Chain A
Amino acid sequence: MSGRARRRCDEREPVVITGLAAVSPLGSTVDTILDRLFAGVSGVREIEIDPRARTDARFAAPVAEIPRPAEIEPEAFARLDRLEQLCLSPVAGALADSGIDRSPGGPRIGLVLGLGAEQLKVWELDFLAAGTAVFESRRDPTIVQRIAARTGLTGPAVTAAAACASSGYALALARAWIDAGWVDACVAGGCDILSPTSIAAFYNLRALSRRADDPTKASRPFDRDRDGFVMGEGGACFVLERRGAAVARGARLRGELAGVGMSSDGVHMVTPSTDPAQAARAIAAALADAGVSPGDVDYVNAHAAGTPVGDVAEAGAIRLACGAAADAIPVSSTKSMTGHLVSGAAAFEALACLGAIERQAVPPTVNLDEPDPACPLLHVPHVARPHRVAVAASNSFGFGGSNLCLVLRAA
């Protein structure tokens, strides 16, 4: 295998999802989360922000409770900072859900987590608790390395960062490692937390909604009156493995990660390109990787965070990639309910796609009262729509012009 080794979809053994777990503003069990997503429930509310970093942005979508993994003692879990708790919980949850063998001599299991600003968050948490770590000459192992050690995973462990597409890239790397044979299975996903300075930074960037009436109405992707996104926290993790191995051990197959497409705009550090060509290239590449055509896609979970520029750019990319087929593909943004989970968004939205496949329905975009004519898509406003979903695509875009599309289908 000395050269390029990416195989065509018909030559590659499918990589399936056999374990999943999530922690989110809508709850911390998969069934609860999906129930609320498909019921159009908003997790956005008014939150208390440290007075040292308070802005006019008071709405966010926080996680109410982080489940403690059974294998971690309560005191040990309590000693972890909030970001590590939020990462460890779904990693351990996904491993437990998969039932995969973790004994010595068992399968090589890797770990890739999308964490876009781990150190910034950890330094901030420490500082706000009167710590001085950011000023000190110290280098601590990353959360990914600590979790790999704690959970006894022996495969490669990597932190991936592509801003709001981070956890999607984590899934892409995990699938590639399995394809390459470097691991037998891999835990992949990502999480993020709300932090006062990140809220302030996005607010000062004028990326956040400034609505101050009803928190549940603030996140309005594709709506004509959208004015920015609402920050959220949480994410999701998955266990990926080859289909043959999963079937042989009797694992429950939750879906297939069938396609991955990636590209960069190469234009601007913050705003998406007005030319949708590269974002569309990522979507088209993911469909080709999965061996499907645009007409085979039954649902698109849009990145659409509710920013005036970003939603229009994505609509253009979907239309360019899918052509006339876009007229018949239901599109929704679950960020209307969860807010923007940033590093955890792509993985969480992959979970929403699996939910659409499992429930044969498309989750809604809530607050989509008047669709922006600049976003001409087949929207699913307000309420979920029963729909045959065999193939779902999930878009994620990030600062620096990062574009990623995942294609999921029934296993």
Chain B
Amino acid sequence: MNHQSSSRPVAPAGCRVAGHGLVECRSSALGDLRGRAAPAGAPPIPHRFLRHADEHTVVGLHAVLAAIAAGPPQPDLSRHAVVAAPCQSGRLAAARTLAQLPEGGAVTVSPHVVPQCSLHSVAGAVSVALGMQGPHLGVGGGPDALAEGLLAATTLLLHGDPECTAAWLVATDWDEEPSLDPVGNPQGDPVCRALAVQLVPAGDASDDGSPAHGIGLVVEPSARPASRPRLHDPAGGIVAFARALTICRAGTAPAAWAIDCPWGAIRLVAGSFSERVSQRAREAA
């Protein structure tokens, strides 16, 4: 066996968190959000752009807009990449399509289902709406979506398109996966939520003293990967991740958030971000 053993140390990699936005919307209010214009401070989006979009896309795009609006002006988004990590996106559209099929036949299958309600659709919509011309990618689709998304976004930013100046991670989910009635409408009034996180290369972020500039994500592959599988709680993941980001940005406490995966961990770190990456790299070496 000439490969090095999997107990070989692996250097971590990290990027900075430049901003984030969280949007939560009850199912009953999604129609209003679908038609809502971008908030002040964010670039406009095309009129009626979201009319055929999946629920995850609606909240996902508005989370990106919220993040942009909350931060300093970003005049050029064209070199940004997008990684979206929805959990079971397209389910309502799929249920409605399938519910109509026995009576209505193929003519009732919407041509928008594939382009607007598939795993790539959230990322595609953010890219199109905001003119982001870095790569865009949907990942996950299941209970591990947040971890897969963080890994893929870090990968694209650090090892993907070298012209990219930023990568957005857009994680979306229902608070609880809703049961659907026979025509595909959600039972009750569940909350659909999205967290958008803007990542930039660690060395590229300017330091104006804002606590936000001291927040980073570190990917730490384990020297001894665990056996599979172990699932995460993605809804709690998004909420907990957003809460940790907010605490970090306020500067009131150090970050205490991580996703532990069978292959390693992704950690939110604050303050001594660069030092932590360097220290872990030295340890790995």
Contact = CB atoms under 8 A, between A and B. Distances in A.
Interface of A: 1-6, 52-55, 100-101, 103, 105-108, 110, 115-120, 123-124, 127, 134-142, 145-146, 148-149, 153-163, 166, 169, 172-173, 176-177, 179-185, 196-198, 200-206, 241, 245, 248-249, 260-270, 278, 281, 285, 398-402, 404
Given A107-B3, A400-B120, A285 B161 contact: yes
Contact of A400 (B98, B124, B228): B124
Given A4-B201, A101-B3, A400-B125, A156 B151 contact: yes
B202 to A, nearest CB: 4
Nearest to A181: B10
A176 B83 CA distance: 15
Given A108-B221, A184-B6, A117 B119 contact: yes
Given A139-B177, A158-B140, A184-B4, A176 B106 contact: no
B271 interface: no
Contacts of A52: 101-102, 105-106
Contact of B225 (A108, A117, A166): A108
Contacts of B160: 6, 172, 176, 260, 262
Given A108-B225, A159-B119, A154 B148 contact: no
A264 B94 contact: no
A313 to B, nearest CB: 15
Contact of A181 (B11, B90, B113, B139): B11
5 contacts: A145-B228, A177-B159, A204-B107, A205-B115, A262-B160
Interface stretch (B34-42, B127-135, B206-214): B127-135
Contacts of A203: 106
A263 B161 contact: yes
B120 A399 contact: yes
B120 A398 contact: yes
B251 interface: no
B244 to A, nearest CB: 20
A54 to B, nearest CB: 6
Given A119-B90, A400-B124, A4 B118 contact: no
B71 to A, nearest CB: 20
Contact of A124 (B5, B98, B229): B98
A159 B139 contact: yes
A349 B219 CA distance: 32
B17 interface: no
A268 B115 CA distance: 10
B274 A119 contact: no
A200 B106 contact: yes
B176 interface: yes
A37 B121 CA distance: 32
A123 B132 CA distance: 32
A309 B203 CA distance: 41
Contacts of B28: none
Contact of A141 (B1, B117, B125, B229): B229
A8 B142 CA distance: 35
Interface in B81-111: 82, 87-91, 94-95, 97-98, 101-102, 105-107, 109-111
A182 B95 contact: no
Contacts of A146: 229
Contacts of B274: 2
A266 B78 contact: yes
A4 B158 CA distance: 5
Contacts of A138: 177
Contacts of B127: 264, 266, 400-401
Nearest to A101: B1
A303 to B, nearest CB: 16
B73 interface: no
B180 A162 contact: no
B105 A53 contact: yes
Most-contacted residue by chain A among B110, B123, B162, B219 (CB, 10 A): B162
A120 B142 contact: no
Contact of A163 (B89, B120, B135, B204): B120
Nearest to B154: A180
B120 A162 contact: yes
Interface string B153-192: 0011111111100000000000011111110100000000
B116 interface: yes
Contacts of B229: 141, 145-146, 148-149
Given A161-B137, A400-B120, A4 B203 contact: yes
Contacts of A402: 120, 124, 135-137
B113 A201 contact: yes
Nearest to B125: A269
Contacts of B121: 269, 399-400
A180 B137 CA distance: 19
Nearest to B263: A156
B95 A135 contact: yes
A323 to B, nearest CB: 20
Given A118-B141, A204-B106, A262 B135 contact: yes
Contacts of B178: 137
A269 B116 contact: yes
B110 A201 contact: yes
A182 B10 contact: yes
A141 B114 contact: no
Contacts of B7: 105
A126 to B, nearest CB: 9
The 5 closest A-B pairs by CB, nearest first: A400-B124, A3-B203, A161-B119, A154-B225, A248-B2
A394 B166 CA distance: 26
B144 A141 contact: yes
A201 B111 contact: yes
Nearest to A117: B118
Contacts of A134: 91, 94-95, 98, 180, 184
